[in-house]
Chains A and B, each alone.
Chain A
Amino acid sequence: MNNPPIPRPSPEGCLAAAGPLIALRGITKAFPNVLANDKVDLDIYPGEVHALLGENGAGKSTLVKVLYGFYRADSGEVHFLGQRVQLRSPLDARGLGIGMVFQDFTLIPAMSVVENIALFLPRLSAVLDKRQIVKRIEEVSERYNLQVHPWAPVWQLSIGEKQKVEILKLLLADARLLILDEPTRVLAPHEVEALFQVFAKLRGDGYAIIFITHKLPEVLACADRITVMRRGRVAGALLRSEATESSLVALMFGATPPAEVSRRGGPPPLAAPPLLELRGVYTRGQGMATSLAGIDLLIRAGEIVGVAGVSGNGQRELGDVILGLERCARGRRFLMGEDATGWSVARVRARGVAFIPEEPLLMATVPLMKVQENMALGETKRYELGHGFAVDWGSVRRDMEQAFQMLGLEAPPFHVPVRALSGGNLQRLVLARELARNPKLIVALYPTRGLDVPSVMAVRRLLLEARNAGRGVLLISEDLEELFSLSDRLVVLYRGRLVGQFKPEETTINEVGHLMVGAGGPHGHEQGR
């Protein structure tokens, strides 16, 4: 490769205080139907944490993918230390010391941490000297608080640990600019804090960090400079000292920020039989899965029960037990007062349970099928004509339009395959489908994860409205603020057990956060496997 030699970052910090490390000029990138980036300029200096802020679809991911050589810009220039460079592939970018941690990690689960890191190193020798690599891993992880067990297979690691491995990988491959695409999306609050400490250390050593997010408190907590994007353009670039929450919101959304939803004022819980009752439910998790151990849970009409916890502590299993996908090894499940322990998924859904799984593309939709077909899948029987020999697409479309109207959104085109939709639109489609069935009980797993602020507000308002209309909601989330602002009752799930039950106004985020990570016991520092 004929790129300029790369000086190693020195502990003293900045290489060239004067010029930027990377300068993007007039980057434009169009996809069919969308102008993802429109003449974007961006400067990245060594030794800075640069937050890229914006709604879903604002063009943040596209921009960094151009910078990483993953996409080629239609026009515009990339300057590296003042020289114009061509980034034809991620290989070119890595040669310049640009590294990226994708939203979905790119590790190989069956291989160990060392092997995963070795795979990524440039100039890897034919016979691996793993010990030597381990030594380097240990040095670097010591310095930046990125401790992981180098010989552990990756599938055993928690999400936070996997992220550490991804960062280590880049550091060992001599990256000097680290790009992290929504790194906090999958982390628990204490993990986020640890990540920001890593950022601070790296910054001190002259690394540059770009991190993408749409959470304001995070930006204000750790960024040096902030670039806000809106509809493919740079809406503004500020220093941290100039930025306030309201100025950033104004830049992100233009004139009017979306209104916060308020909780109080629904009917009090009724004396009718509870919508859902789990009595001493155990499950037998296979392989790596968590098993539920003695869950007692009650959801009444007109209340939102929030489940707090770090993901991987039995959230999926809890949802699946209610849906009927996971068998109760012990214990019983009641729906609307009836013993529903042995009911099939179809029967549970037919009784009015709506389900919003955590991964809408993988778990709720068929990617190659059209939007309207996916909509009909929510309740195929309702849309059949002539005992199933035809499908009433007219009423599917009508219901879909109505459901989206209720959400205050425009319905996506009916005939587009679902995989062409963005993450946010997909989530909305699943929501619209499940709510169109007029359910009695809504089980929602991370329903706002990865959504932009207006969509988050819309979803929250919807859940509250459902509650006020006398429905029950089980809200499983990692966002404590969301749980606190929406829930009537709050339970904490840790390693398959419910370890706390509160009224939100009688506890604090801090207390719940401690229970979420199992703190308080003798093994407070342990993380979920």
Chain B
Amino acid sequence: MGMSRVAELAPRLLRRGRGLTAALARVVITAALALVAFGLVLLIIGRNPARAYVDIFRYALGSYYGFSEVLVRMIPLLFTAVAAALPFKLGLINIGGEGQLYLGAWLTSWAALTFPGLPQAVLLPLMMLMGFLGGGLWAAVAGALRAKGWVNETISTLLLNYVAPLIVNYYIFGPWRSAEAASYPQSAAFVPAARLPTFGNTRVHLGLVLALVVLALFWLFMARTRWGLEMRAIGGNPEAARRVGINLFRYILIVFFIAGGVAGLAGMAEVSAIYGRLPQNLSPAYGFIGFLVSWLAGGNALGIVIMSFLFAIITSGGLILQLTQRVPYAAVNILLALVLFIVLAQPVRTQKRGGG
């Protein structure tokens, strides 16, 4: 590498470094503010915030089991964060991860319940495909409406979230209701071939690898490919993109399909690996938390990993708070809402437009 090459690279690295420091500072400050605010809430209901936080982190990071549970919760967050980050590159908002996850789980379950006789090597890929299709087609509805310029995608994805669980409910209360435990609305158990393999004696499953692969592909795609370049152009200035001949309609539709598909994979992983059947309430708002993760990470792939991990600690910490501090699990929602509030109170870097 010649000197000139180094001279050319150095300022770039510096710039990137500064960007990273700024992003890190943002995340740390946000997290600190949220923790302090939640501490106040705990104080008000008469609990010791310091003890609570120590409990959470000791459980999540200090025990083998706790740590494995954090990883388990991280998996759907990685998927749903990518589902939000991808349209965000086009300047579009997808808060429909939750609904897309549900419909992914639904089609996955259909495959698992309809073809129980298939060998695992065929059945699992089929389930993944169906999970992807379920979430993807659901999101494509919002994508098509947006691409046509008819309905704002923020509204449509949000509202579709409320429809998706109802579809799942219809099936688990109706045609798919399991006979073995009639008091529970849930489908019959999947055959072992329909279960994603897990690692060791934990619940951490193959979905983790899949999620990381998807995330890496997302990053490579955006940074390296021609399509990534064109997508960033759409996000940066749709007017200019249109004028250089980029087909916005096609991109919006396809991106929403893929984003929804990725969220659908989260649903696939949950029903296949965690539940082994289609249950009611299969997601504790993974879709929404994933959106939050992506927003905090600014769509950055490494940031998504870090933020997913943090949020996985918080949500699994909710369980331990319930045990040690006798705080209801829903209290974690207060913490998440506080984070959202603080995040939204900050100006977003990408919204700034270049001037003169």
Chain A positions within 8 Å of B, measured between CB atoms, are 103-104, 323, 325, 344-350, 355, 357, 361-369, 373, 376-378, 380-381, 383-384, 388-391, 415, 417-419, 423
| Distance to closest chain A CB from B223 (angstroms) | 10
- A334 CA to B243 CA, complexed, in Å: 19
The answer to whether B284 has its CB under 8 Å from any CB of chain A is no
Decide: A369 and B224 in contact? CB cutoff 8 A.
no
Closest 8 CB pairs of A and B: A419-B354, A367-B354, A366-B236, A346-B245, A388-B226, A345-B245, A384-B226, A366-B237
B 312-356 binary contact with A (CB < 8 Å = 1; else 0): 000000000000000000000000000000000000001001111
Residue of B nearest to A421 (CB): B354
- A349 CA to B244 CA, complexed, in Å: 8
User: What B residues does A381 contact at CB under 8 A?
Assistant: 226
The interface residues of chain A, by DSSP majority, are classed as: helix
Decide: A367 and B353 in contact? CB cutoff 8 A.
yes
The answer to whether B232 has its CB under 8 Å from any CB of chain A is yes
- A511 CA to B129 CA, complexed, in Å: 69
The answer to whether B145 has its CB under 8 Å from any CB of chain A is no
Decide: B225 and A390 in contact? CB cutoff 8 A.
yes
Decide: A362 and B237 in contact? CB cutoff 8 A.
yes
Decide: B229 and A346 in contact? CB cutoff 8 A.
no
| Distance to closest chain A CB from B233 (angstroms) | 5
- A350 CA to B247 CA, complexed, in Å: 13
The answer to whether B162 has its CB under 8 Å from any CB of chain A is no
A368-B236 contact, Cβ under 8 Å, with A384-B226, A389-B225, A390-B225: yes
Decide: B229 and A325 in contact? CB cutoff 8 A.
no
Chosen A-B contacts, 16 in total, with CB atoms closer than 8 Å, are A346-B245, A357-B243, A362-B240, A364-B243, A366-B232, A366-B237, A366-B241, A367-B237, A377-B241, A377-B246, A378-B244, A380-B246, A389-B225, A390-B224, A391-B225, A417-B354
User: What A residues does B225 contact at CB under 8 A?
Assistant: 388-391
The answer to whether B227 has its CB under 8 Å from any CB of chain A is yes
Decide: A365 and B224 in contact? CB cutoff 8 A.
no
- A104 CA to B353 CA, complexed, in Å: 15
User: What A residues does B240 contact at CB under 8 A?
Assistant: 362-366, 377
The answer to whether B242 has its CB under 8 Å from any CB of chain A is yes
Decide: B226 and A380 in contact? CB cutoff 8 A.
yes
| Distance to closest chain A CB from B44 (angstroms) | 41
B 2-28 binary contact with A (CB < 8 Å = 1; else 0): 000000100110000000000000000
User: What B residues does A365 contact at CB under 8 A?
Assistant: 237, 240
Question: A373's contact among B229, B242, B353, by CB below 8 Å, is which?
Answer: B229
- A361 CA to B236 CA, complexed, in Å: 11
Which of A325, A380, A383, A417 has the largest number of chain B CB atoms within 10 A? A380
Given A345-B242, A350-B245, A361-B354, output 8 extra A-B contacts at Cβ < 8 Å. A363-B243, A364-B243, A366-B241, A368-B236, A377-B230, A380-B229, A388-B227, A391-B224
- A369 CA to B89 CA, complexed, in Å: 12
User: What A residues does B354 contact at CB under 8 A?
Assistant: 361, 367-368, 417-419
User: What A residues does B230 contact at CB under 8 A?
Assistant: 377, 380
Residue of B nearest to A430 (CB): B240
Decide: B350 and A355 in contact? CB cutoff 8 A.
no
User: What B residues does A378 contact at CB under 8 A?
Assistant: 244
| Distance to closest chain B CB from A248 (angstroms) | 26
User: What B residues does A380 contact at CB under 8 A?
Assistant: 226, 229-230, 244, 246
Decide: A323 and B229 in contact? CB cutoff 8 A.
no
The interface residues of chain B, by DSSP majority, are classed as: helix
Chain B positions within 8 Å of A, measured between CB atoms, are 8, 11-12, 224-227, 229-230, 232-233, 236-237, 239-247, 350, 353-356
Question: A346's contact among B246, B350, B353, B356, by CB below 8 Å, is which?
Answer: B246
- A384 CA to B225 CA, complexed, in Å: 8
| Distance to closest chain A CB from B255 (angstroms) | 15
Decide: B224 and A377 in contact? CB cutoff 8 A.
no
Decide: A325 and B242 in contact? CB cutoff 8 A.
yes
Decide: A345 and B243 in contact? CB cutoff 8 A.
yes
| Distance to closest chain A CB from B164 (angstroms) | 33
User: What B residues does A348 contact at CB under 8 A?
Assistant: 245
User: What B residues does A376 contact at CB under 8 A?
Assistant: 229
A423-B356 contact, Cβ under 8 Å, with A366-B233, A377-B229: yes
- A357 CA to B233 CA, complexed, in Å: 17
User: What A residues does B242 contact at CB under 8 A?
Assistant: 325, 345
- A381 CA to B245 CA, complexed, in Å: 11
A349-B245 contact, Cβ under 8 Å, with A367-B354, A389-B224, A390-B224: yes
Residue of A nearest to B349 (CB): A368
Which of A349, A357, A366 has the largest number of chain B CB atoms within 10 A? A366
User: What A residues does B243 contact at CB under 8 A?
Assistant: 323, 325, 345, 355, 357, 363-364
Question: A391's contact among B12, B229, B356, by CB below 8 Å, is which?
Answer: B229
Question: B247's contact among A103, A346, A366, A418, by CB below 8 Å, is which?
Answer: A346
User: What B residues does A344 contact at CB under 8 A?
Assistant: 245, 247
Decide: B226 and A369 in contact? CB cutoff 8 A.
no
- A344 CA to B244 CA, complexed, in Å: 11
Decide: B236 and A367 in contact? CB cutoff 8 A.
yes
User: What A residues does B247 contact at CB under 8 A?
Assistant: 344, 346
User: What A residues does B245 contact at CB under 8 A?
Assistant: 344-350
User: What B residues does A383 contact at CB under 8 A?
Assistant: 226
| Distance to closest chain B CB from A352 (angstroms) | 12
Which of B11, B243, B246, B247 has the largest number of chain A CB atoms within 10 A? B243
- A103 CA to B244 CA, complexed, in Å: 27
User: What A residues does B246 contact at CB under 8 A?
Assistant: 346, 377, 380
- A419 CA to B236 CA, complexed, in Å: 11
- A415 CA to B13 CA, complexed, in Å: 11
Decide: A368 and B244 in contact? CB cutoff 8 A.
no
User: What B residues does A419 contact at CB under 8 A?
Assistant: 354-355
User: What A residues does B237 contact at CB under 8 A?
Assistant: 362, 365-367
User: What A residues does B232 contact at CB under 8 A?
Assistant: 366, 369, 373
- A350 CA to B355 CA, complexed, in Å: 31
User: What B residues does A369 contact at CB under 8 A?
Assistant: 232-233, 236
Which of B224, B230, B354, B356 has the largest number of chain A CB atoms within 10 A? B354
User: What B residues does A418 contact at CB under 8 A?
Assistant: 354
- A369 CA to B222 CA, complexed, in Å: 13
Residue of A nearest to B244 (CB): A377
- A364 CA to B11 CA, complexed, in Å: 27
- A415 CA to B244 CA, complexed, in Å: 20
User: What B residues does A377 contact at CB under 8 A?
Assistant: 229-230, 233, 240-241, 244, 246
- A106 CA to B108 CA, complexed, in Å: 56
User: What B residues does A363 contact at CB under 8 A?
Assistant: 239-240, 243
- A364 CA to B242 CA, complexed, in Å: 9
Residue of A nearest to B224 (CB): A390
- A323 CA to B240 CA, complexed, in Å: 13
User: What B residues does A355 contact at CB under 8 A?
Assistant: 243
| Distance to closest chain A CB from B252 (angstroms) | 15
User: What B residues does A345 contact at CB under 8 A?
Assistant: 242-245
- A49 CA to B355 CA, complexed, in Å: 29
User: What A residues does B224 contact at CB under 8 A?
Assistant: 389-391
